[in-house]
Chains A and B, each alone.
Chain A
């Protein structure tokens, strides 16, 4: 089993819809969770951090964490074409490095 699993996609959603990106992880001691967005040809940029069970909202983005289920998700409301990118999930379980998922490619269609 991979340490961090994400559906590679592409996930296609129409403009204005909600995009739901999912991530499961195997390390039960993971404490912090980060979502990064990576545009094609660019480096990843941090868009959300979540540390506690439940929801965390930031603008059009909502991160959801369920540690018991080892599941973290990212919802993007009112999806825009500019949201088209690969989204990387990265749990942190202590130590000095993050484990990245392979990413989900999101395509927002006009």
Chain B
């Protein structure tokens, strides 16, 4: 199956720090990339959708200036959490989608803890 690599797996940092999370597809080119956030015991929450070369589309309630998404190529997307605060602590997951009726493929997720 498709392989999506997400780094880092864990991040612990101080409040006010900016954190970059990288998501890379290893064996296919992704039309679209997605970023999700999941709080403990809650369901996946879609944050934003991005297509290569286009600005990301953010879901309602997600601050685009705080969560910067760069879709650099068909195999790479990054999410930067700027000036992170404790309430941003969560599990962030990327996924990549080829096209058509294909499923999304998820990265392993990044657990972000802001002290």
Contact = CB atoms under 8 A, between A and B. Distances in A.
B22 interface: no
A48 B109 CA distance: 21
Interface string A53-88: 000000000000000000000000000000000001
Interface in B35-78: 43-44, 46, 49, 51
Nearest to B99: A96
B31 A96 contact: yes
A46 interface: yes
Nearest to B4: A43
B32 A43 contact: no
Given A43-B93, A97-B32, A102-B43, A92 B101 contact: yes
Interface residues of B, number: 22
Given A97-B32, A97-B34, A46 B103 contact: yes
Interface residues of A, number: 22
A44, A45, A101: which has the most chain B beta carbons within 10 Å? Answer: A44
A24 to B, nearest CB: 16
Interface of chain B, helix or strand or loop or mixed? strand
The secondary structure that dominates the A interface is loop
A96 B106 contact: no
B104 interface: yes
Interface string A28-42: 000110101000011
B107 A43 contact: yes
Contacts of A31: 101
23 contacts: A31-B101, A32-B101, A32-B103, A34-B103, A34-B104, A36-B106, A43-B6, A44-B44, A44-B93, A44-B106, A45-B106, A46-B103, A46-B105, A49-B103, A51-B101, A96-B51, A96-B97, A97-B97, A97-B104, A98-B103, A100-B43, A100-B44, A102-B43
Interface of A: 31-32, 34, 36, 41-46, 49, 51, 88, 90, 92, 96-98, 100-103
